[in-house]
């Protein structure tokens, strides 16, 4: 039986969890300080109100005003929800120094408060953030554990969809072993800083009775709130188009079985500096725009103006396409953000602009902000997303001089359907450009090395064979 | 002996007539009579009847005894079975009776 789900409304999280958190059951959200637990929990509540579920926020660490101001920058207006009777915030403060313990007690007071809060707004969702704080406030851990066990059972009996946040422990999911009590679903948040670039990740550790993505997913906190990027292989189920589209260079189309690339496929163009990678990309962009299709062009090395000017010198005029809006450049320094942020930005722009062609020039620039493995993982996500969306992707890759291209691009080439290598050789004081297709899945293609020139009219294949 | 007034305003939070709560009240009564003769007032609050009152004094555990006067506010949780700890918690010097 498929269990009921309560949508979180958090972009991406509902996809990973196949619909949301288990409805009527508690979910544990654990992570270190600053990992985004409170934000995730608050989003779950605020979005819940939008879906018609009133909520209760019981906070143990920050008071209501503090939380409200923390999330105000994300566009959440907690006081308004409280005034509207859709949200009840109760700040529970336990100060050990003010409390003397003598004899038996229980936490009925907590239950009374919760019950009162739940009734006040008719809550369907509840957040306890972070209930572990009680361990530092109360001396008798045995009573506390027994009462927490009772509490989680009580929440289940009331069929509340609950999010319980907890601090990550050393070698355990939570410092106080709350995973022992809350075992329906566990989400782990992680915040790492590598080489001054911060990366947030989310993983669904456990989800009883439901399919869920098991990878670590990058997530972002920006002015739109929290979003998880599930742009990774949840399956390889995208449609493979049989349609062919021109590379923009007729002779290259000839080499590619006479018809060009497959629509929706991925193309890698690699070569050392100055070999003509960007020219090939520009030809492709130009051809797409001529067909009236939209092109999204990510640029990491030069400004759009510079690129347009340079391409004009070889007879490709991109400016009209920029003017009509068919061609959109997104130029950014690779170091301006972490990989995950680049990924998120690309994902959002592809989603918003809905291009039929996306160009990334050059993917190797991203290696300055991540390791080869990270970049590969990120590209895999981008490619998956492009493929699912039916977008044709063209990626240029800079091979460092002297190294073998097979080595440099070994990581990413396997993700590509078509791999074209452009090279320059010095032969008798002449610089000879050549191009060859290392692979092109699903089509008969030329296995020769073709010489070419870049002329005032763009790429021209020379009719010679090396 | 003239009453000295209510130096100690004590509020006992309970949740229904549970054995723990009844025990706490009995213990408190005894301690007050012995050590705070004529100087105290006990207010009982049953949270099952007034759940909204739990927030004000930050009540979590039941029973909780709150010393509202004299200030600062002090809290003692439990059934108050250890007289010495209750007195320490209320800051009543032993021998003041």
pLDDT digits (tens, 9 = 90+) for A49-65: 999 999 999 999 888 88
- Measured between CB atoms, which of B18, B55, B75 is closest to A100? B75
Sign of the torsion formed by the C-alpha atoms of A8, A14, A16 and A20: positive
Instruction: Give the C-alpha separation, B51 to A276, whole Å.
Output: 75
CB–CB of B79 and A138 under 8 A? no
Task: Provide the β-strand partners of residue A298.
Answer: A330, A360
Domain ranges of chain B: 8-90
Residue A337, chain B, CB below 8 Å: the answer is no
Q: Give one word for A112, left, alpha or beta, with left for phi > 0 and alpha for psi -120 to 50.
A: alpha
Instruction: Say if A5-228 and A244-465 have the same CATH topology.
Output: yes
Instruction: Give the C-alpha separation, A227 to A458, whole Å.
Output: 42
Q: Give one word for B76, left, alpha or beta, with left for phi > 0 and alpha for psi -120 to 50.
A: beta
Q: Give one word for A72, left, alpha or beta, with left for phi > 0 and alpha for psi -120 to 50.
A: alpha
CB–CB of A115 and B82 under 8 A? no
* Closest Cα in chain B to A104: B78
Instruction: Give the C-alpha separation, A277 to A282, whole Å.
Output: 9
CB atoms within 10 A of CB A215: 17
Residue A41 predicted with pLDDT over 70: yes
For the entire predicted model, the pTM comes to: 0.70
DSSP states along A29-47? EEE-TTSSHHHHHHHHHHH
Residue with tokens 């189309």: A253
Residue A81 predicted with pLDDT over 60: yes
The dihedrals phi and psi of B45, each to the nearest 5 degrees, come to: -125, 120
Question: What is the architecture of the domain spanning A244-465?
Answer: 3-Layer(aba) Sandwich (3.40)
The dihedrals phi and psi of A228, each to the nearest 5 degrees, come to: -105, 145
Contact predicate A14/A8, CB 8 Å: yes
Tell me which CATH code domain B8-90 carries.
Answer: 3.40.30.10
Mapped onto helix, strand or coil, the DSSP state of residue A71 is helix
Of A397, A119, A143, the closest CA to residue A280 belongs to A397
Residue A188 predicted with pLDDT over 70: yes
User: In the prediction, which pLDDT does A112 show?
Assistant: 95
Mapped onto helix, strand or coil, the DSSP state of residue A114 is helix
| Shortest distance, CA A148 to any CA of chain B (angstroms) | 12
Contact predicate A167/A32, CB 8 Å: yes
Which one of B18, B25, B51, B61 makes the best mutation probe of the A interface by having the most chain A beta carbons within 10 Å? B61
- Measured between CB atoms, which of B48, B62, B80 is closest to A102? B80
Q: Residue range A247-273: average pLDDT?
A: 91
- Give A97-141 pLDDT, tens digit per residue: 888 899 899 999 999 999 999 999 999 999 999 888 898 888 899
* Closest Cα in chain A to B90: A100
CATH 3.40.50.300 fits A5-228, yes or no: yes
Which one of A60, A89, A107, A108 makes the best mutation probe of the B interface by having the most chain B beta carbons within 10 Å? A108
Instruction: Give the C-alpha separation, B60 to A134, whole Å.
Output: 10
Q: Which residue has the higher pLDDT, A37 or A227?
A: A37
Sign of the torsion formed by the C-alpha atoms of A329, A330, A332 and A338: negative
Of A82, A44, A89, A33, the closest CA to residue A64 belongs to A89
| Shortest distance, CA B33 to any CA of chain A (angstroms) | 19
Q: Which of A290-299, A341-350, A402-411, B7-16 has the lowest mean pLDDT?
A: A402-411
Q: Residue range A236-244: average pLDDT?
A: 75
Domain ranges of chain A: 5-228, 244-465
Q: Residue range A13-20: average pLDDT?
A: 89
- Measured between CB atoms, which of A98, A103, A112 is closest to B80? A103
* Closest Cα in chain B to A107: B61
Chain A contact set for B11 (CB, 8 A): none
Mapped onto helix, strand or coil, the DSSP state of residue A221 is strand
**Can the peptide bond before residue B63 be classed as cis, meaning omega within 30 degrees of 0?**
yes
Tokens standing for A390?
């039916």
User: In the prediction, which pLDDT does B95 show?
Assistant: 60
Residue A326 predicted with pLDDT over 90: yes
Q: Residue range A432-447: average pLDDT?
A: 87
Chain A contact set for B24 (CB, 8 A): 103
User: In the prediction, which pLDDT does A233 show?
Assistant: 47
CB–CB of B60 and A103 under 8 A? no
CB–CB of B79 and A102 under 8 A? yes
- Measured between CB atoms, which of A94, A101, A112 is closest to B15? A112
| Shortest distance, CA A110 to any CA of chain B (angstroms) | 5
- Average pLDDT over chain A reads 87
**Residues lower than pLDDT 70 in chain B:** 1-5, 95-97
């Amino acid at each position: 039986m498929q269990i009921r789900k309560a949508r979180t409304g958090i972009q991406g999280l509902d996809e990973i969890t196949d619909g949301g958190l288990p409805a009527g059951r508690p979910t544990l959200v654990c992570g270190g300080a600053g990992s985004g637990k409170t934000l995730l929990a608050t989003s779950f509540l605020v979005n819940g109100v939008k879906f018609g579920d009133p909520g209760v926020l019981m906070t143990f660490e920050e008071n209501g005003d503090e939380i409200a101001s923390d999330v105000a920058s994300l566009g959440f207006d907690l006081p308004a929800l409280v005034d509207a009777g859709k949200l009840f915030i109760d700040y529970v403060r336990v100060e050990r120094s003010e409390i003397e313990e003598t004899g038996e007690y229980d936490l009925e007071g907590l239950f009374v408060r919760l019950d009162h809060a739940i009734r006040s707004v008719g809550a369907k969702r509840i957040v306890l953030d972070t209930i572990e704080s009680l361990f530092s406030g109360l001396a008798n851990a045995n009573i506390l554990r027994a009462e927490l066990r009772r509490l989680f059972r009580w929440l289940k009996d009331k069929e509340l969809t609950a999010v319980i946040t907890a601090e990550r422990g050393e070698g355990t999911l939570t410092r106080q072993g709350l995973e022992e009590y809350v075992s329906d679903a566990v989400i782990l948040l992680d915040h790492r800083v590598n080489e001054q670039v911060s990366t947030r990740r989310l993983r669904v550790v456990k989800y009883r009775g439901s399919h869920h993505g098991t990878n670590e997913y990058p997530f972002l906190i920006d002015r739109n709130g929290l979003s998880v990027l599930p742009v990774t292989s949840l399956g390889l189920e995208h449609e493979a188009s049989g349609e062919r589209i021109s590379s923009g260079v007729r002779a290259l189309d000839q080499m590619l079985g006479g018809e060009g690339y497959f629509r929706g496929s991925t193309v890698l163009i690699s070569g050392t500096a100055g070999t003509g990678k960007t020219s090939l990309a520009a030809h492709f962009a130009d051809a797409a725009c001529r067909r009236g299709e939209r092109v999204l062009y990510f640029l990491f090395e030069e400004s759009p103006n510079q690129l347009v000017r340079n391409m004009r010198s070889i007879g490709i005029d991109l400016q009209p396409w920029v003017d009509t809006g068919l061609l959109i450049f997104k130029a950014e320094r690779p170091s301006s953000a972490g990989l995950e942020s680049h990924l998120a930005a690309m994902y959002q722009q592809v989603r918003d602009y809905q291009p039929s062609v996306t160009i990334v020039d050059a993917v190797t620039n991203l290696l300055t902000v991540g390791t080869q493995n990270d970049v590969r993982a990120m590209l895999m996500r981008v490619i998956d997303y492009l493929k699912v969306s039916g977008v044709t992707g063209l990626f240029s890759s800079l091979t460092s001089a002297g190294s073998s291209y097979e080595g440099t691009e070994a990581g990413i080439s396997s993700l590509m359907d078509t791999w074209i290598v452009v090279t320059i050789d010095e032969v008798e004081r002449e610089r000879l450009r050549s191009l060859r297709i290392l692979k092109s899945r699903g089509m008969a293609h030329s296995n020769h090395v073709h010489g070419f020139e870049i002329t005032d009219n763009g790429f021209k294949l020379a009719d010679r064979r090396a | 002996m003239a009453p000295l007034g209510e130096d100690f305003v004590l509020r006992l939070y309970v949740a229904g007539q549970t054995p723990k709560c009844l025990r706490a009240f009995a213990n408190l009564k005894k301690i007050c009579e012995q050590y705070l003769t004529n100087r105290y007032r006990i207010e009982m609050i049953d949270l099952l009847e007034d759940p909204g009152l739990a927030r004000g004094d930050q009540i979590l555990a039941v029973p909780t005894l709150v010393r509202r006067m004299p200030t600062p506010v002090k809290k003692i949780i439990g059934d108050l079975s250890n007289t010495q700890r209750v007195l320490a918690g209320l800051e009543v010097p032993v021998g003041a009776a």
